[in-house]
Amino acid sequence: MQPNCLHDNPALTQSGHPAGWGSHGPTQRSPSNCTIGPCGLDKKYLHKLLRNRIYLGELSHKGSWYPGAHAAIIDPELWERVHAVLAKDSHTRGVETKTRSRTDALLRGLLYAPSGEKMYPTYSRKNGRKYHYYVSKSEFRFGAPGKRYERLPAPEIEAAVVAQIRTVLTSPESIASVVRHTQANGSQIDEASTVMAMGRLNDVWDHLFPVERHRIVNLMIERIDLVHAGELQGIKVKWRELGWDAIIGEFALAGIGAELVEVEG
């Protein structure tokens, strides 16, 4: 018997896991049936898996696919949607993925240190957990030795900004200000629709995807400055005058926001 081969018991490995499983999941086997470690689902294997028409209830014969006797386990509509994505070239898919990942951080592109230096989202891992931060441009580019401002835990600064957003969405003075600005820019949206739309956005905020929250924040806010006054620290939010028309339109009665509220209800 070769080292590390597991031939004796077809049901259990020496570690006590079911056959075909290592301590961290499924294992591959070499032609000699030796365990060679956890499976890696590389891109080539995944593409082959996603193109296997057996899952559609078909069988292959001499290069062609025919209806099989077994039932399909993949819905044809889902199959077509997946293959529409696979039909795109790798560059296009890569750009789309990169765009989505760049909009996961709520304040990306909006946050500035007291010196005027832009803050960038980043993260670190410790004991299997992921910790998100915003760091100065100097630290982002040159690492800790080049930093000019302390890193900020993302949950804390994002919570402070969201608290201000919720105040704007629910404060009568802020709502009146939004109405004045939108009407001054030629909008036909009345005060009642504005009140309802801003209230709906406040209600559904926690249910929105990160990408959608990032988009809405960028419609509302031009920039966020970290400010220090002695020992006091805070934020100064510069609100956009434009962009509110789109938000009110989306979350008015006939908009997307209204549909989301109805679904949640």
Reported as a single tens digit per residue, the pLDDT across 14-55 is 444 444 444 444 444 444 444 444 445 666 777 788 888 898
Question: How far is it, in rounded angstroms, from Cα 171 to Cα 199?
Answer: 10
Phi and psi torsions of 103, nearest 5°: -105, 10
Among 142, 100, 91, 87, which Cα is nearest to 120's? 142
**What sign for the dihedral angle of Cα 92, 98, 104, 106?**
negative
Q: Which residues does 79 contact at the CB level (< 8 Å), separation at least 6?
A: 55, 56
Contacts of 111 (CB under 8 A, 6+ apart): 118, 119, 134, 157, 223, 224, 226
Q: How far is Cα 73 from Cα 54, in angstroms, rounded to an integer?
A: 9
Among 90-94, 113-117, 125-129, the range scoring the smallest mean pLDDT is 90-94
The model's pLDDT over 150-197, given as tens digits with 9 standing for 90+, comes to 788 999 999 999 999 999 999 988 888 888 877 777 777 778 888 888
| Cα–Cα distance for residue pair 248/3, rounded to 1 Å | 68
pLDDT at position 253 is: 57
Distance CA 114, CA 227 (A): 5
CB 201 within 8 A of CB 257: yes
Q: What is the mean pLDDT of the chain?
A: 75
Better-predicted residue by pLDDT, 121 or 264: 121
Task: For the chain, give the percent of residues with pLDDT over 90.
Answer: 21
Q: What is the pLDDT of residues 185-235, one digit of tens each?
A: 777 777 888 888 899 999 999 999 888 899 999 999 999 999 887 777 889
